[in-house]
A and B are shown apart, each in its own frame.
Chain A
Amino acid sequence: MTELLQHLFNGLSLGTIYALVALGYTMVYGVLKLINFAHGDVYMVGAFAGYYLGSVLGTDRAPNLGKAALVTIGAMAICGALGFVIERFAYRPLRHRARLTALITAIGVSFLLEFGFQLNPILRAPIEFPPGPSPRFFPALVDLGAPFDLLGATVSRIDVVGFAVAILLMLGLQWIVYRTRFGVAMRAVSFDSQVAGLMGIPVNRIISGTFVLGSALAAAAGIINASARPRIEPLLGLMSGLKAFVAAVLGGIGSVPGAMVGGLTLGFVEEFVAGYTSSRYRDAIAFTVLIVVLLVRPDGLFGKGRVEKV
């Protein structure tokens, strides 16, 4: 029973990360019908942004909540800017081309980020940039204390904080998407961008805003993950990004609540299958889920099958 509970908590911790990153995939697909494969690497950049900000602010010497908040918000701002730049220079020029072109460009941006970050440092002070291929140790942003016992399972405090932050961010996103004018505009653009443009919605600005929002969430996910699992390296986003993509598909790509549910579901499935059967196939589980979803219910859990009537 305690083993089950422990796996449940582990799966929750894993699932919130996938959910946060999946939100970025789903929102961008919603407005652009584009799978932004570079999103996993924006998540990686977020983790590194947190690492650099933390080293500049000196969090490893004196971790405190204020600095942690500053680092998180700073990293979110940096990744938001990165998302804006990627959209503006890599995707917007190709918006009226075939969808495949933009997809290939997305893969190109992904490689650019991954291998660009693996170059040996050019800038030495105040930070070593690019970080190079050796993994770095993410400093603890807050000193929370030892893990505590909950109903027999051991839960580490950073997982609790991470979960709380993730829930807050997701609620924040729900509020933005369903209660603000920007959210209405975003949903309008994802429904039909041409007509939305005719109605006076600044489509380019909305799309940029969507990218900024998604990237900021990915940065937050990067920092939460790096605080709990402190090794970061340039290829961090590879596996996690792909799994988050699977989570978005599982939940119904284009659906915001779908991404959240899909992320949590994938986290649980991965944890339970790896814990109870063979852990060798841990990574294969996500892709098996993808294949099953595409065969059985390609619209995902929350996706509506839109039938086009001629």
Chain B
Amino acid sequence: MGFRRALVPAAALLLTLAACEKKKSGEAAAPATPQAASPGAKIWFGHVGSLTGGEATFGDSTDKGIKLAIDELNGKGGVKGMQLDLKTYDDQGKPEEAALAATRLITQDKVTVLLGEVASSRSLAMAPIAEANKVPMITPSSTNPKVTKDGDKTRPFVFRVCFIDPFQGTVMAKFATEKGVKKVAILRDVGNAYSVGLADYFLSKFKDLGGTIVNDQSYKAGDQDFKAQLTAIKAKGPEAIYVPGYYTDVALIARQARELGMKAPLMGGDGWDSAKLFEIGGAAIEGSFFSNHYSPEDPSPRIQDFIKRYKARFGAVPDSMAATGYDAAMVAADGLARAKDATGDAAAEAIAATKDFPGVTGVITLDKDHNAVKPAVVLEVKGGKAVYVSTVAPDAPAPAAAAPMTAPNPIPAAKPAGK
């Protein structure tokens, strides 16, 4: 009788030990060990993206851009004779899930390069994991400087192929000042590293240029009702409202602002870039402006060709998330091709040395902080889509106002002293 009663807990204990054993052996085989280049072996790229959740189009577009890049690279023979393959995990828009997905990709799926995430708060959750496991991570469009820089130290394994917010914040500040706007209110997403950072950079640059911030309000992503904040903003009479958030919240904020009778245009950053912005925002978002990584109207043949190939494959014009996703995968492959061996350290070193890489979002050169120095474009929402207005180059004294893009993505003359 005593033996029978002990059977169930004993079985449970044995099962638990067996499960733990499997996990431990999985973690021990960390990919710091070089991967043998046996014929038929594949190089795995891991992508963590928000395929569902509040920013579903971000992850979906990035994934499509990466898939297109991988297919094209495989068609040309892959990297170092090996074919590329992609494993994507959905983080549902939650940073904890992003960290879990990154860990799973590194420890169980043994990816060589980690791609992701679009949202800075989720990239920040993933960066320490990539660092600890010595797997290079390239974020396609996270713009918060903290993703590649931990305090004063640059993270050796984290890179990005886009510009950073200290620059992006100045873009709209300069644009607004050029348009003669003197009074701006800010409405930021207080729970989001990207939104808070971008709002701060915009604020300091706008004040430097002589403007005034009449009101600074906050909301939380997923909030339903913004009327309290908007009413307080309306009372101060701003000429424009800077809303550096993600597209679903921004679309709702625009609608509620118009419902309150506010006519001031909204301004924002690359978090606005989604087809859903126009779908949800409708007429409310018309006449608003946002800064972005690239514009599909750029006449440069490299970009138009990319758009044609993307449209042929996926049936839609690529947004900047798809374009940066494509560039991230390309830069990763380029780095791996130049790496002297198959270790994570060599790959990171090679990626860090990326110089003058012809990407579809611009010429990509990674500076000492592993950030790409690229110009930004300002787009206006007109007729239910984003229309190109101007390009702002880094360290440029004044933006080229409404001039057609003559030179495709100018290469900056001198390397700016680390932003």
Seen from chain A, the residues whose Cβ lies within 8 Å of a Cβ on chain B are 2-3, 6-7, 10, 13-14, 118, 120, 132-135, 137, 147, 149, 154, 156, 225, 229-231, 233, 235-236, 240, 270-271, 274-276, 278-280, 282-283
Which chain A positions have C-beta within 8 A of B92? 118, 133
Which chain B positions have C-beta within 8 A of A275? 228-229, 231-232
Nearest 7 A/B pairs, CB to CB: A154-B261, A274-B228, A3-B235, A275-B228, A10-B227, A229-B224, A134-B56
Question: Contacts A137-B280, A279-B218, A282-B228; is A3 near B52 (CB within 8 Å)?
Answer: no
B217–A6 CB distance below 8 A: no
Q: Which of B52, B231, B252 contacts A120 (CB 8 A)?
A: B52
9 contacts between A and B (CB under 8 A): A133-B53, A134-B56, A137-B280, A225-B224, A229-B256, A230-B280, A236-B224, A270-B228, A280-B218
B252–A7 CB distance below 8 A: no
Which chain B positions have C-beta within 8 A of A10? 225, 227-228, 231
Shortest CB-to-CB span from B29 to chain A, Å, is: 31
Shortest CB-to-CB span from B263 to chain A, Å, is: 11
Which chain B positions have C-beta within 8 A of A133? 52-53, 92-93
Q: Which of A7, A134, A229 contacts B228 (CB 8 A)?
A: A7
A231–B248 CB distance below 8 A: yes
User: Which interface residue of A7, A134, A147, A236 has the most chain B CB atoms within 10 A?
Assistant: A134
Alpha-carbon separation in the docked complex, A240 to B222 (Å): 12
Question: Contacts A132-B52, A156-B259; is A279 near B229 (CB within 8 Å)?
Answer: yes
Alpha-carbon separation in the docked complex, A229 to B227 (Å): 10
* B146 adjacent to chain A (CB < 8 Å): no
User: Which interface residue of B56, B93, B231, B279 has the most chain A CB atoms within 10 A?
Assistant: B231
Q: Which of A13, A134, A149 contacts B54 (CB 8 A)?
A: A134
Alpha-carbon separation in the docked complex, A195 to B141 (Å): 67
* B317 adjacent to chain A (CB < 8 Å): no
A233–B190 CB distance below 8 A: no
Interface size on B, as a range, is: 20 to 34
Seen from chain B, the residues whose Cβ lies within 8 Å of a Cβ on chain A are 52-54, 56, 92-93, 190, 217-220, 222-225, 227-229, 231-232, 234-235, 248, 252, 255-256, 259-261, 279-280
B231–A6 CB distance below 8 A: yes
Alpha-carbon separation in the docked complex, A135 to B224 (Å): 12
Q: Which of A134, A147, A225, A235 contacts B259 (CB 8 A)?
A: A147
A6–B234 CB distance below 8 A: yes
Which chain B positions have C-beta within 8 A of A278? 218
Alpha-carbon separation in the docked complex, A147 to B259 (Å): 6
Alpha-carbon separation in the docked complex, A270 to B224 (Å): 13
Shortest CB-to-CB span from A6 to chain B, Å, is: 5
Which chain B positions have C-beta within 8 A of A274? 228-229
Shortest CB-to-CB span from A292 to chain B, Å, is: 20
Q: Which of A7, A149, A225, A236 contacts B231 (CB 8 A)?
A: A7
Shortest CB-to-CB span from A98 to chain B, Å, is: 27
Q: A233-B54, A270-B228, A278-B218 are known contacts; what are 16 more A-B pairs with Cβ within 8 Å?
A: A10-B228, A118-B92, A135-B248, A147-B261, A149-B261, A154-B261, A156-B259, A229-B225, A230-B252, A231-B280, A235-B222, A236-B224, A240-B224, A279-B218, A280-B190, A282-B228
Alpha-carbon separation in the docked complex, A10 to B228 (Å): 7
B231 — nearest CB in chain A belongs to which residue?
A6
Alpha-carbon separation in the docked complex, A279 to B259 (Å): 19
Which chain B positions have C-beta within 8 A of A14? 225
